[in-house]
Structure 1
Amino acid sequence: MLSHSQVFRTAVRAKEFLITAEVMPPKGANPDRMIAMAQCLRQRVHAVNVTDGSRAVLRMSALAAAAILRQQGIEPIFQLACRDRNRIGLQADLLGAQALGIGNVLALTGDPVKAGDHPDARSVFDLESVRLLQVIQQLNQGLDINGNPLTDGATDLFGGAAVDPQSPSWSGLQRRFERKLAAGAQFFQSQLVADFDRLDKFMNTIARGVDKPILAGIFLLKSAKNAEFINRNVPGVHIPQHLIDRLAAASNPLREGMKIAAEQVQYARQLCHGVHLMAVKREELIPEILDMAGLAPLRSDPSSPAQMGL
């Protein structure tokens, strides 16, 4: 019987093809919609990512949202961004996550506040993602960032990192990836992938021989307008014109976007170790996208109370 948040960790170590998906915490105090969207993903994903102030937009605490999903028997991956907390706050949240049975953490630097809805807020960035991964390693060894012992118990956190195979700087991408590996990253989830030739090159050069799983980021494009918005507003992402034209010509653009996402899942199966699906405000469509891609439900519900030891 698996306890706490170890189903995803077990699937990683068993070298299964991994499936994760993303939900956003609520813009308010009512978590019902978030819970409903996460419930749609049962039996289809190994874990559900809970975003932490994505694009610097105010939402409920990712730690609180992850705890709510955990109470519902849904295994979360708690995203933790360095933008809003100093090293004391980051360590405090990591200790809190452990106490709440939240074992999976995606260490992120965080988007700049100027991109969000509170552009006058003060950024912290006391640490960045590589240093945060190192902190997770230290906490797992029973030490805080200063090397002082954790007198009330070490953590057992499973830390992961983001990677961008479409980075314009190949040398910078390699250096950052290697630093995250050295800092203890146990898995990688990529940014939105639109250029699968680039992903192929990344997997066969920089990531060649690496024994940590890499999940390709698959984004549901809802329309040509949606794709054009992403090209204008999401740094480092370029949706190819042929996909925009395909969406523009479709009688049902959302349906066409689902077909594109399913095709991309199939491409990713040939190249890497899993997929991370992002369907902002349409998470309920993810199971059908997986069906279209030929991915069957998981053998059992990995987040059921029996599996999670609740």
Structure 2
Amino acid sequence: MKIQEYLKQHKLIIDGAMGTYFARLENNENAVSEYANLADPAKILKIHRNYIDAGAVMIRTNSFAANQQVLNIRPAQQAELITASYLLAKQAVAESGREVYIACDIGPIPEYSGRTEEDLFEEYKLICDTFLKEKPEIILFETFSDFNYIKKLVPYIKEKAPETFIITNFLINKNGYTTKGISARTLLEEIAGTKEIDAGGFNCGIGSGHMYHILKKLNFPANKFIVAAPNAGYPEQFQNRMIFMDNEVYFEENMQRIIELGVDIIGGCCGTTPGYIKKITEKIDLQESNRGIRINLSVKTEKLTELRSNDFFRLLESGKKVIAVELDPPFDAKDDQIITCAHKLREAGVDMITMADSPMGRSRVDSILMSIKLMRETGMSVMPHVCCRDKNMIAMRSGLLGAYANGIRNVLIVTGDPIPSENRQSTTGVFDYNSIQLMEYVKEMNREHFSEEPIYYGGALNYGRGPLEKIIERMEKKIEAGARYFLTQPIFTDEDIERVKYIKSKINTKILCGIMPLVSYRNANFIKNEISGIHVPDWVIERYTPEMTREEAEWTGAKIAGEIIERLNPFADGYYFMLPFNRVSLMDKIKIN
């Protein structure tokens, strides 16, 4: 019987955990089950049989972590291991003599390795192709945090094997959000709106009680089957080991409540065992046809209904050449000087102060906290930089919520400078997100929490990094992720001016062109030779001499800045000044048309 037909008449029970159950049997919490597909297939076969004997009507191949990064294997080894995972599941079903479905299990490939999106997509295709050679009925993506790869993979699979039943499950936390900040509601809308997906829902991350409370608040799509596979609970430390305590009765009671909501497919994830699955099959009526209240869901594309407009963006749209000035926070708690600088910038008519986030990877006062203080002290609009280098997703979300609660409505989202090489032994970058992923996160926060007065955010434009078409492609991804404007690196050369002009002609967005008035011969040489991504031509260096006074050098830098501004003026939407050493007096010297 095709799985679609089965689901019209029954609830379907999936197996429980493979990884944690295997580790439990091995008495080694670090044991990796996927290696055993080749090294000890009898153990994997036995686990499959245990779940089938417990009543599972679908088993998952032992391939969740079968990627090159986690297992440190080459593509040929990976393909062999994946094929073995399917054949072992197939053998277990054949030996059982029962009608049991096999889902080819694909988990997320870690994204923090520095590999490109294209490279990761190719590996996902390799995994799919390896499974498709076996002509499976079901492919399951589980424990994903967003649709980034899934939205490209599901049509790829359907094109090659149109009859394949595709399930997509996502990992959410106790609040109903993925690590990328996407809500359970939005995920169901995406599932409903993706024609190639047949079923979808949630697995891992939370226990059965939290899963029930999240699901009961959601509307289920009429056109998809819904899946729920929570963890046994939450691991606890016992004799220096993290283990899941047995709570089969509690799990079964919650799964009964989940079934009553209308969920179609249930099972277990981390910490569950054949005992959990057996308890479900003994207590829950699988002939139950209740599918709950179903509605036609679709991806929400409407614009946010803003009750208050964003002052800074309104200036940008008015056609005014907006002036933003970056200040670097202090290295210590002495903030008198930066507050004085902010007051001077207000007197100079600057529209926005941006606050760098520990530039060059060297610790300074937090950009958000410093921005809040400047805003309160001066009344000026502020835009803290928020970089992905230093904070995990928990700290990032807390910081953004705190910024919003204190009146911040503009941020610049950047990936962040790398940690200096001399500090890498003691300090590590986090990079749970890249800048585009963090933009998606803030976009979701705007929708869920700040719809009446959203955070407006911009992105960095590294105009000199690679082919122009690739730069434009990345900008388009940022715009799709909600970026409203871009701030460029400092511009000096004619070639860079032409590159930015070309970009502006090809993409409809607001661009603030970066201006850095160099303040000495030494400063000019340092920027030219030590800072990547900024192209200082020889003619700029030649305008300075080592013997110049501070005043002479500043006037030279201001004059050069004015000349560059004149060249940029026909197409720039504004200017983004990066003043070395926070020398705000330069703003009185620079001619801005």
What TM-score do you get using the length of structure 1 for normalisation? 0.84
| Unmatched segments (≥5 aa) in structure 2 | 1-306
Which structure 2 residues correspond to residues 1-310 of structure 1 after superposition, within 5 A? 6-42=310-346, 43-72=348-377, 73-114=379-420, 120-142=426-448, 150=449, 156-204=454-502, 206-208=503-505, 210-248=507-545, 251=548, 252-290=552-590, 293-295=591-593
- Post-superposition shift, 1:40? 0.9
Residues 1:224 and 1:208: Cα distance change in structure 2 (over 3 Å) = same
Residues 1:153 and 1:15: Cα distance change in structure 2 (over 3 Å) = closer
- Post-superposition shift, 1:6? 3.5
In 1, distance between residues paired with 2:462 and 2:562? Answer: 20
Q: Tell me, what secondary structure is at the counterpart of 2:342?
A: helix
Identical-residue share of aligned pairs (%): 27
Residues 26 and 60, structure 1, Cα contact 8 Å, conserved in 2: yes
- Post-superposition shift, 1:265? 2.1
What TM-score do you get using the length of structure 2 for normalisation? 0.45
In 1, distance between residues paired with 2:425 and 2:482? Answer: 33
In 2, distance between residues paired with 1:122 and 1:266? Answer: 42
In 2, distance between residues paired with 1:95 and 1:200? Answer: 39
In 2, distance between residues paired with 1:255 and 1:19? Answer: 19
Residues 21 and 48, structure 1, Cα contact 8 Å, conserved in 2: yes
Residues 1:27 and 1:62: Cα distance change in structure 2 (over 3 Å) = same
Across the aligned residues of Structure 1 and Structure 2, the Cα RMSD in angstroms comes to 2.4
- Post-superposition shift, 1:250? 7.9
What amino acid maps onto 2:368 in structure 1? L
What amino acid maps onto 1:16 in structure 2? K
- Post-superposition shift, 1:23? 0.7
Q: Tell me, what secondary structure is at the counterpart of 2:340?
A: helix
Residues 1:182 and 1:4: Cα distance change in structure 2 (over 3 Å) = closer
Residues paired across the two proteins, number? 282
In 1, distance between residues paired with 2:405 and 2:573? Answer: 30
Which one is further off, 244-253 or 63-72? Answer: 244-253
Residues 330 and 365, structure 2, Cα contact 8 Å, conserved in 1: yes
- Post-superposition shift, 1:269? 1.4
Residues 1:262 and 1:74: Cα distance change in structure 2 (over 3 Å) = same
Which one is further off, 154-163 or 72-81? Answer: 154-163
- Post-superposition shift, 1:174? 2.1
In 2, distance between residues paired with 1:18 and 1:126? Answer: 32
In 2, distance between residues paired with 1:78 and 1:214? Answer: 18
In 2, distance between residues paired with 1:28 and 1:41? Answer: 22
Q: Which runs of 4+ in 1 moved over 4 A?
A: 115-119, 152-155
In 2, distance between residues paired with 1:219 and 1:258? Answer: 9
- Post-superposition shift, 1:188? 0.5
Residues 326 and 353, structure 2, Cα contact 8 Å, conserved in 1: yes
Residues 1:224 and 1:271: Cα distance change in structure 2 (over 3 Å) = farther
In 2, distance between residues paired with 1:191 and 1:77? Answer: 16
Residues 1:78 and 1:249: Cα distance change in structure 2 (over 3 Å) = closer
Q: Tell me, what secondary structure is at the counterpart of 2:514?
A: strand
In 1, distance between residues paired with 2:394 and 2:461? Answer: 26
- Post-superposition shift, 1:284? 2.2
Q: Tell me, what secondary structure is at the counterpart of 2:581?
A: coil
Residues 1:194 and 1:153: Cα distance change in structure 2 (over 3 Å) = closer
- Post-superposition shift, 1:96? 1.1
- Post-superposition shift, 1:275? 0.6
In 2, distance between residues paired with 1:200 and 1:227? Answer: 22
In 1, distance between residues paired with 2:330 and 2:308? Answer: 24
In 2, distance between residues paired with 1:193 and 1:115? Answer: 27
Identify the residue that residue 219 of structure 2 maps to in structure 1: none
Residues 104 and 157, structure 1, Cα contact 8 Å, conserved in 2: yes
Q: Tell me, what secondary structure is at the counterpart of 1:270?
A: coil
Residues 216 and 275, structure 1, Cα contact 8 Å, conserved in 2: yes
In 2, distance between residues paired with 1:115 and 1:4? Answer: 45
Residues 1:273 and 1:75: Cα distance change in structure 2 (over 3 Å) = same
Residues 463 and 496, structure 2, Cα contact 8 Å, conserved in 1: yes
| Unmatched segments (≥5 aa) in structure 1 | 143-149, 296-310
Cα deviation, 1:77-120, whole Å, max 9, x if unaligned, reads: 11100000111211211111111101000001011112686763
